[in-house]
Chains A and B, each alone.
Chain A
Amino acid sequence: MAKHETPLLDQLESGPWPSFVSDMKLEAESRAKNVNNVEFQIPQDVIEDLMGVLELSYKDAETHWKHGGIVGVFGYGGGVIGRYCDQPEKFPGVAHFHTMRVNQPSGHFYSTDFLRQLCDLWEFRGSGLTNMHGATGDIIFLGTTTPQLEEIFYEMTHKLNQDLGGSGSNLRTPSDCIGAARCEYACYDTQDLCTYLTQEYQDELHRPAFPYKFKFKFDGCPNCCVASIARADMSFIGTWKDDIRVDQDAVKGYVNGEFPPNGGSHSGRDWGPFDIQKEVIDLCPTQCMKYENSKLEINNKECTRCMHCINVMPRALRPGKQTGCSILVGAKAPILDGAQMGSLLLPFVEVNKENDYQEVKDVIESIWDWWMEEGKNRERLGELMKRQGFQKLLEVTGVDPIPQHVSEPRHNPYIFWKEEEVQGGWERDINEFRKHHQR
């Protein structure tokens, strides 16, 4: 019989989706049986107590977790999130229930062997419950006690060659799309840039000195599979400068029904024959395409690189050859001041491994210098941009204003002339002026 009655949790299992409650019960049962004779380092019935406290929270309609506390391993200011239960007598198994964030490998590539080692370690020294993956991308270990933290960290760093991720007012674990490893759309090597910057900025990742969290995310193309544009203080989105590459024969192939559109991903239902006008040309957001006399034409100057046409006809269309990334800044979730999407700062940056991504690092560091000095406590970059203005951001990064920075022309302009930029400054001799201009 279960240690605590959990009618409210049990009810959740009746829904149509896989249930985290069923997962917890499974793990509780597995720990109780312990067929592999694991010498559990935290209470064997930790999951039962976890379900108990969760049931109580549902009943009371309030949380029984205290938020925050120790941050774990020596020298690191992040990677461990202290959690303490405020009903430790009733639920001793979860009196301490700290979360650990494990820096996921770029693109989430790992072998089953590596996963097994992680899970074995976590079964032995933690609750066995994981979250694959957290919103930041990390592998999340849910629930262990204070004495286990250093032990786990030692095992991870010495045997699994694995580091903790970021939390708190740190650079958060950078995350990227699967990119060039498996995806033909990738305009730069997301894995390499993500890994490189993770290594380069270890100090920022582990020792918090920022006003608040800071996130990098890397998408290989504008499809934005890691949603960097909506979630990262700095988003690196693959793009190209030259023309979309077109294979006219393959375009005809699509029109004649030889190839399924969208790589066959909507083939679960009969949508009728492919209609290039309706499904591609008319949906181009800038109306820069036409299909006439069996020929597809694209006015590339007007193309916003939305990826729609390429996604529909991947065999016929490909991003250009001069590739790099756009850098957008200031996206965040709605805690203060509402949600914000990233604003375009640099439309095209070369992503150059040869010089250790110097161009990219220069932008990052100028932004950090500004935000570290001017940012208020718990103010995200996007909020500082709003408070001090986009123009200030351009100033600190040394970027010249360009039309792409303007979202709505003739409306609330944010680019102002400064006195030194105007011939003669603000002062003028009114009498001299009046000689040539009547009142």
Chain B
Amino acid sequence: MALDYEESKQKIIGGLQKKSKSKSKFYFSDLAKILDAKPREAKKIVTQMINEGILEFWSSGSTSMYGLKGAGKQSAAEHENE
């Protein structure tokens, strides 16, 4: 069954805010876990959240991560904020 977008969005925002004290960047698998969904299903939700500007990508060049837009330091080095 396809996930409901609005509901999933709130879950992700809530999930990331809860952890925002300790870190601001998350692996894709963390997001899939919050949604308790298969990666391909989770990807659809995450992509839409990127397109709406709620989430943003962060990358070290070799690894990619996700964060709530504006959270953490944009130029932070890998693992610097964890």
Contacts and interface: CB of A to CB of B under 8 A. Distances in A.
Contacts of A170: 64
Interface in B38-82: 38-40, 42-43, 46-47, 50-51, 57-64, 74-78
B40 A67 contact: no
B75 A207 contact: no
A75 B48 CA distance: 9
Interface residues on B, range: 20 to 34
B60 A68 contact: yes
B17 interface: no
A81 B60 CA distance: 7
Interface stretch (A153-161, A270-278, A370-378): A370-378
Most buried by B among A78, A82, A378: A82
B46 to A, nearest CB: 7
Given A66-B75, A69-B76, A207 B43 contact: yes
Interface in A297-355: none
A212 interface: yes
B8 interface: no
B27 interface: yes
A167 B65 CA distance: 12
Chain B facing A: main interface SS: mixed
B38 A373 contact: yes
Given A207-B50, A209-B28, A66 B77 contact: yes
Q: Is the interface of A mostly helix, strand, loop or mixed?
A: loop
Nearest to A375: B29
Given A169-B28, A208-B64, A212-B63, A70 B46 contact: no
Contacts of A207: 43, 47, 50
Contacts, number: 88
A373 B57 CA distance: 21
A216 interface: no
A168 B29 contact: no
Contact of B63 (A69, A168, A372): A168
Interface in A363-383: 369, 372-373, 377-378
B29 A68 contact: no
Given A168-B64, A372-B40, A81 B29 contact: no
B59 A75 contact: no
A68 B61 contact: yes
A82 B59 contact: yes
A186 interface: no
Given A70-B74, A77-B64, A207-B47, A377 B59 contact: no
Contacts of B39: 209, 372-373
Interface in A151-207: 167-170, 203, 207
B57 A208 contact: yes
A167 B62 CA distance: 6
Given A67-B77, A71-B59, 7 more contacts: A77-B64, A82-B59, A167-B62, A210-B28, A211-B27, A211-B28, A372-B40
